[in-house]
């Protein structure tokens, strides 16, 4: 099987060495490998180092791309390679982020590309034996699970052994998957961190809870010596303790009040060979290997732990398979709530705020609705003589003046003789209305200033802005409903 490598995480080295020991498998090329070049060339002498990840897309002989590390260029390259249809083998790190995992999930659902996560501890034979013993009831009902981990800090200055938050999250990601594989799908997480100094912590503790599931506790602290790891599985009939020294140390299993003969003859574990065997299993995958949903669940647990630390309370995990459809529904629901809120604010603005800007009198409002305002443009300049436009306007008003009780308003303009000119124009309009047979024209013709004529247009604009987004959203919802695929 021909592989390509993308990333610079040292955790990939055992797998590369295992591939190099087999004639049937080969690492063809590598990109974005950082400082691993010398060790990679020692493990795979014929390895081709590429300057950019896009060269991996050219190689048709590549059957799978191993992705490790968390640099932004590595993560973006992995998405593009997956979108091109090439299978990915992912070595998970919490610093890769759940957003990247969800984006890969969308690509997987759309293009049906193979994405294989690798959690090395899942592949250990003792774990498979322990799971079989738990399922068979050898330990009885499980009471609790506990993992205690000591990690050597990335940088030490002679002071306290403080871990970065990324170190804690990376360690918890793999242990959370292990606890899930033993205990089940936990639905609640509570986490605390102690001795926080800037972006470093002295210790962290997380508790996983679920209905009818044994409580799982995870602790992590810095160590000035060496890394240590211990797992305790406590049941009503007995207890199993698994200990390991170092990052890839062998598991040492001890039992208390229970006997599991299968654990006595467990051979030494080569993490690289185990990972390679799980990748090339073909149609017969290793039953204890992680699935894509396990990777998503592990990232959800890590995100829940981070949220619990930030909010200082337990967090309920949303154990729902991420898919493009679910994300679309979530986005449409959020958009709908936003549109409803925006429309509600618009209605309140229309009813309570907009009337404050209306400076028109009642007479002007009624005359404006009936188009019965006589302006200066209806008269010859600076005179009280109606022009052709004004005569036509007055005739139109006279035609429907008996249909309502609206007034006829003569616009008054501020000038030295504005009032006198307005009165003369009123007399001319009254005479024209009387000539057209209107009774009581004098009583219904008034003089007044015309102000705020912009208000009706502004009101229409606000109405459109308030209701148009919701209308468009409802139309889109209807189109989505009509365009849904037929189901049997």
Tell me how far CA of residue 217 lies from CA of 172, 201, 385, in angstroms: 11, 18, 95
Residue 246: its pLDDT value, please? 58
Mean pLDDT of all residues belonging to the chain:
88
Question: Exposed (0-12), middle (13-18) or buried (19+): which is 487, by Cβ within 10 Å?
Answer: exposed
Residue 4: its pLDDT value, please? 95
Q: Is a pLDDT exceeding 90 seen at residue 282?
A: no
Token couple for 439: 């009774």
Q: What percent of the chain has pLDDT above 70?
A: 93
What is the mean pLDDT of the segment spanning 59-76?
91
Using DSSP, state whether 415 is helix, strand or coil: coil
Q: Which residue has the higher pLDDT, 342 or 482?
A: 342
Q: How confident is the model at residue 154 (pLDDT cuts 50, 70, 90)?
A: confident
Q: Is a pLDDT exceeding 90 seen at residue 117?
A: yes
Q: How confident is the model at residue 413 (pLDDT cuts 50, 70, 90)?
A: confident
Residue 284: its pLDDT value, please? 46
| 97-108 pLDDT, tens digit each | 999 999 999 999
Q: Is a pLDDT exceeding 80 seen at residue 486?
A: no
Q: How confident is the model at residue 320 (pLDDT cuts 50, 70, 90)?
A: very low
Q: How confident is the model at residue 283 (pLDDT cuts 50, 70, 90)?
A: very low
CB 472 within 8 A of CB 332: no
Residue 2: its pLDDT value, please? 92
Q: Is a pLDDT exceeding 90 seen at residue 323?
A: no
Residue 134: its pLDDT value, please? 92
Q: Pick the range with the lowest mean pLDDT from 163-177, 334-348, 372-386, 402-416.
A: 402-416
Tell me how far CA of residue 381 lies from CA of 66, 225, 346, 395, 396, in angstroms: 86, 100, 43, 20, 22
């Amino acid at each position: 099987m021909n592989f390509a490598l993308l990333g610079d995480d040292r955790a990939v080295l055992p797998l590369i060495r295992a591939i190099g020991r087999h004639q049937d498998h080969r690492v063809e090329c590598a990109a974005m490998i950082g400082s691993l070049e010398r060790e990679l060339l020692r493990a795979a002498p014929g390895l081709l180092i590429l300057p950019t990840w896009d060269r991996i897309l050219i190689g048709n002989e590549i059957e799978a791309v191993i992705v490790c590390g968390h640099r932004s260029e590595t993560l973006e390259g992995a998405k593009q390679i997956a979108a091109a249809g090439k299978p990915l083998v992912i070595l998970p790190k919490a610093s890769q982020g759940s957003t990247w995992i969800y984006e890969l999930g969308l690509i997987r659902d759309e293009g049906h590309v193979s994405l294989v996560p690798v959690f090395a501890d899942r592949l250990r034979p003792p774990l498979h034996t322990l799971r079989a013993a738990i399922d068979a009831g050898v330990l009885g009902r499980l009471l609790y699970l506990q993992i205690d981990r000591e990690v050597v800090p990335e940088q030490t200055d002679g002071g306290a052994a403080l871990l970065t938050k990324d170190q804690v999250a990376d360690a918890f990601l793999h242990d959370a998957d292990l606890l899930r594989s033993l205990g089940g799908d936990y639905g609640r997480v509570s986490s605390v961190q102690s001795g926080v100094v800037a972006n470093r912590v002295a210790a962290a503790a997380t508790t996983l809870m679920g209905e009818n599931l044994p409580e799982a506790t995870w602790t992590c602290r810095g160590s000035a010596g060496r890394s240590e790891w211990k797992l305790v599985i406590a049941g009503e009939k007995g207890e199993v303790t698994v200990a390991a020294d170092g990052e890839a140390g062998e598991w040492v299993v001890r039992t208390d009040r229970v006997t599991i003969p299968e654990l006595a003859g467990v051979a030494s574990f080569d993490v690289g060979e185990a990972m390679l065997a799980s990748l090339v299993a073909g149609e017969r995958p290793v039953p204890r290997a992680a699935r894509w949903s396990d990777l998503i669940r592990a990232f959800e647990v890590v995100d829940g732990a981070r949220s619990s630390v930030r909010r200082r309370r337990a967090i309920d995990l949303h154990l729902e398979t991420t898919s493009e459809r679910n994300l679309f529904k979530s986005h449409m629901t959020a958009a709908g709530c936003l549109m409803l809120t925006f429309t509600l604010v618009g209605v309140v603005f229309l009813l309570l705020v907009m009337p404050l800007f209306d400076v028109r009198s009642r007479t002007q409002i009624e005359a404006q609705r009936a188009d019965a305002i006589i302006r200066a443009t209806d008269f010859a300049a600076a005179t009280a003589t109606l022009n052709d436009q004004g005569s036509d306007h007055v005739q139109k008003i006279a035609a429907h003046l008996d249909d309502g009780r609206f007034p006829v308003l003569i616009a008054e303009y501020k000038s030295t003789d504005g009032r006198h000119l307005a009165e003369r124009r009123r007399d001319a309009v009254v005479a024209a209305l009387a000539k057209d047979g209107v009774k009581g024209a004098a009583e219904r013709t008034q003089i007044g200033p015309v102000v705020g004529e912009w208000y009706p247009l502004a009101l229409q604009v606000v109405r459109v802005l308030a209701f148009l987004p919701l209308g468009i959203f409802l139309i889109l919802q209807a189109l989505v409903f009509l365009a849904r695929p037929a189901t049997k």
